[in-house]
């Protein structure tokens, strides 16, 4: 299933050409996943997951420019792989708030939980793995 988030680009997200800047797009992807991986994780009693998640790999492909116009963007996120110590999210960023708006950006992030005390990546707990499966199944 797909988790849908909405993000609103800011005027400062534009580059000199009037399009959303690459670095700002990466930030918008992060903002799109925060409600699930942080807010809902805490609600589910998973205190460790939101304390540390690091990006292992990031890939972004631009299909259409997105101009900041004051409207929200629809970001559809799918869990495409779940391993013992990493999980992969695939994103489809629509050029507007609706599902019918064209997909302007696709992206993929490989994320790993991070132990902020030991300062190293760690394995997902069984509860965290189940939370991720359910978080996308219930979307």
Q: Which residue range forms the structural domain that includes residue 76?
A: 2-137
pLDDT tens readout for residues 91-125? 999 998 889 999 999 999 999 999 999 999 999 99
Q: Could you tell me the two tokens for 81?
A: 């792989």
- Residue 77 maps to which CATH number? 3.10.129.10
Cβ atoms of residues 62 and 21 within 8 Å: no
The predicted structure's pLDDT at residue 108: 98
Residue in 1, 3, 4, 2 with CA at minimum distance from that of residue 72: 4
Rounded CA gap, 102 and 22, in Å? Answer: 18
Rounded CA gap, 120 and 46, in Å? Answer: 19
pLDDT tens readout for residues 46-96? 989 999 999 999 999 999 999 888 889 999 999 999 999 999 999 999 998
Mean pLDDT, range 22-42, rounded to an integer: 94
CA distances from 95 to 4, 7, 10, 102, 118 (A): 14, 11, 14, 6, 41
CA atoms within 13 A on the CB side of 49: 27
The DSSP bridge partners found for residue 6 are 74
pTM exceeds 0.85:
yes
Rg (CA), the chain: 15
Helices (H), 5-111: 22-34, 41-43
pLDDT-based confidence at residue 138 (cuts at 50, 70, 90): low
The predicted structure's pLDDT at residue 70: 84
The predicted structure's pLDDT at residue 139: 52
The predicted structure's pLDDT at residue 1: 80
The predicted structure's pLDDT at residue 17: 86
3-state secondary structure of 56: strand
How many structural domains are present in the chain?
Answer: 1
Mean pLDDT, range 131-137, rounded to an integer: 86
Mean pLDDT, range 10-38, rounded to an integer: 92
Residue in 51, 55, 73, 53 with CA at minimum distance from that of residue 64: 73
Helices (H), the chain: 22-34, 41-43, 126-137
């Amino acid at each position: 299933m797909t988790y849908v988030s909405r993000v609103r680009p800011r005027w400062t997200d534009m580059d000199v050409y009037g399009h959303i800047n690459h670095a700002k797009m990466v930030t918008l992807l992060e903002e799109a996943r925060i409600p699930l991986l942080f807010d809902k994780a805490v609600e589910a009693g998973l205190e460790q997951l939101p304390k540390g998640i690091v990006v292992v790999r990031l890939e972004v492909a631009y299909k259409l420019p997105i101009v900041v116009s004051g409207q929200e963007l629809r970001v559809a996120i799918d869990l495409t792989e779940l391993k013992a110590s990493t999980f992969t999210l695939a994103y489809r960023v629509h050029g507007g708030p609706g599902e019918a708006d064209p997909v302007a950006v696709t992206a993929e992030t490989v994320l790993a939980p991070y132990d902020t005390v030991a300062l190293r990546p760690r394995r997902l707990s069984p509860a965290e793995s189940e939370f991720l499966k359910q978080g996308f199944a219930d979307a």
